[in-house]
Structures are given as structure tokens and as C-alpha cells.
Amino acid sequence: MSISVDQPNGRTPLIEFREVHKHFGKLHILRGVNEKIMEGEVIVILGPSGCGKSTMLRCINHLEKIDGGDLIVDGINLGDPHANVNRIRGETGMVFQQFNLFPHLSVLQNVMLAPMKVRGISKDAAREKGLKLLKRVGIEEKADAFPIQLSGGQQQRVAIARSLAMDPKIMLFDEPTSALDPEMIREVLDVMRGLAQAGMTMAIVTHEMAFAREVANRVLFIDGGKVCESGTPAEFFDNPKEERAKDFLSKILKH
């Protein structure tokens, strides 16, 4: 496999989609996606529901297998059946809409589990790291609580800390605030904003347009299983080129 390095700014792409296809039974969800995500970029992925935004993220993390094309994540081609998938999963943190915290483990144990089991670090080191991360997402006082005792916003912040514990090269957010009450959305977005400012590479599927405009380096608009438009938030929101993007924005911004 070869990795192109001929980027305008000279950096290596962390993730590269090349003609990626994905089917769910008869549904053709991704129809030849081509895209590069560079290190340090914050990408917001927009598009109508069912267009394949989440699928794109889930393919990066190999929660879905791609059916065609190449998907190169940190130098490993996921289109190759012999690829070391577990390594990729360790390098890419995923935050889910439904949090998916482990209900039988305490908050701290949720964060400590993967570093201990996957990276093999000691319990003490994992605890120290876990507490540090919980502090970073502002929830260290709940370290010994169980997920069920937390609010949705708190749970999602723990989920972010849990992913960060693997020192991922990229964080994937799959509609992280969609399952939250309005008053809790802010606390999660604040944590994400902090991550972006610290230089984390992020790919975010969200409906929070104001947040997208503020935080993103680049906005991808997906429709019909393809990337229709890609540009800075300013270009995209103020002056969309594609008809479908205009249509989408007019519907969204009315609310």
C-alpha cells in the first residue's frame, strides 16, 4: 500500500478515504467517498439524516467493514483483510450518541479498563491517568460513582475521558449531544472545544451548527453517499456552492 504525501501543506494525512463503498444489504450507503483528514484538523461532517455521516465515522473505527476501496488510517489500510484492526481501534477514540458507558463499572474503572487491558499499563498508572482525564473533563469528584448515578452530560464527558485514556491520534464524535437535554449540551461542547484548542485531530458528526462554525477547520457536506462539498465553515455557511447544501442549510437554519 502506498500513502500519498503530496499534500499542499506538506503534512501526512492521518485518514484517507479512496473510493470507499459500504452497503447494508441492498442499501448502498457510501458510494465512493474520497477524502483526507490531516493531523490537527477539526472536521465537522454535516448532511441530511441517512446520508452516511455516521457510517463514515464507524468505518474509520472499523465498527463497520468497508466493501470497496481503500481506507487508510494512520498508515494501515482497512480495506486489507489482514490489517491489524485492534491497533487502529486503539488509535481512534470513538464517542457515541448513547454514551455506552459500562454500567457495571465505576466511572474511574470505565476509564481505566482499556489502558490496562489493551496497553497493559499497571493499575496504579491507569488510575493516575484516569483521574487526570476525569479532572480534564471536569468530573473528578464522581470518580467512584456508577454511570447510572450521573446525568447524561456527565456520562458523555466520562465517555470522552474513556476514549482519551487510549491517547488516540484522532477522536471521532458520532452525534455526541443528540441524546442530551439542552442544558447539558453546553458542558459537553465545552469539553470538545477544549480538546480542539489543545490540537486534537477530531471528526465530528453533529447538528450543532453554531459549534461547527466556531470550532471546525473544515466542514464536509455529505449527501447521497458522497462528499458533496468541503470547505471552511465561513465558505460553507455563508456561501455554499452546491444546490443540495444550500437546500440543507436553509432547512436547518430556519429552526
Partner 1 sequence: MSSTALSADPETQLPALHRAPVFTFARMFNAAGWLILGLLVYFLIIPAVRFGNWSPFGALSTWQFLWVGLQVTLFVAVFSVVISTIVGFVLALGRLSNNKLISRLSAGYIELMRALPSYLIIFYVFIVFPKIGIKLPSPWFAIIGLSLYTSAVMAEIFRAGILSVEKGQLEAAYALGLKPFDTVINIILPQALRRMVPSIVSQLITLVKDTSLASIIALQELTAAGRQLYEYYGQTAGKPIVLETLFVIASIYFVICYILALISNRLEIKG
Residue 17 near residue 68 (C-beta atoms within 8 A)? no
Is position 92 an interface residue for partner 1 (rule: CB under 8 A)? yes
Nearer to partner 1 by Cβ, of 206 and 236: the residue is 206
Q: If binding means CB under 8 A, how many residues of this protein chain bind partner 1?
A: 26
Taking CB under 8 A as the criterion, which residues in 20-59 touch partner 1? none
Q: Where are the beta strands (DSSP E) in the chain?
A: 13-24, 27-38, 42-46, 68-73, 76-77, 92-95, 170-174, 201-205, 218-223, 226-231
Is position 121 an interface residue for partner 1 (rule: CB under 8 A)? no
* CB contact set of 169 (below 8 Å; sequence gap of 6+): 14, 39, 74, 91, 92, 201
Is position 89 an interface residue for partner 1 (rule: CB under 8 A)? yes
Residue 159 near residue 100 (C-beta atoms within 8 A)? yes
Helix (H, G, I), strand (E, B) or coil at 11: coil
Closest approach, Cβ 118 to partner 1, in A, equals 4
Is position 87 an interface residue for partner 1 (rule: CB under 8 A)? yes
- DSSP-assigned beta bridge partners for residue 222: 227
- DSSP-assigned beta bridge partners for residue 15: 37, 73
x/- letters, 164..203, toward partner 1 (CB under 8 A) = --x-------------------------------------
Taking CB under 8 A as the criterion, which residues in 131-160 touch partner 1? 159
Closest approach, Cβ 157 to partner 1, in A, equals 15
Q: Phi, psi (5° rounding) for residue 100?
A: 55, 40
Nearer to partner 1 by Cβ, of 35 and 174: the residue is 174
Closest approach, Cβ 129 to partner 1, in A, equals 14
Is position 86 an interface residue for partner 1 (rule: CB under 8 A)? yes
DSSP string for 210-239: HHHHHH-SEEEEEETTEEEEEE-HHHHHHS
Task: By CB under 8 A, name the one of 55, 61, 154, 156 that touches partner 1.
Answer: 61
Taking CB under 8 A as the criterion, which residues in 93-112 touch partner 1? 93-94, 96, 98, 100-105
Site residues (vs partner 1, CB under 8 A): 61-63, 86-87, 89-90, 92-94, 96, 98, 100-105, 113-114, 117-118, 159, 162-163, 166
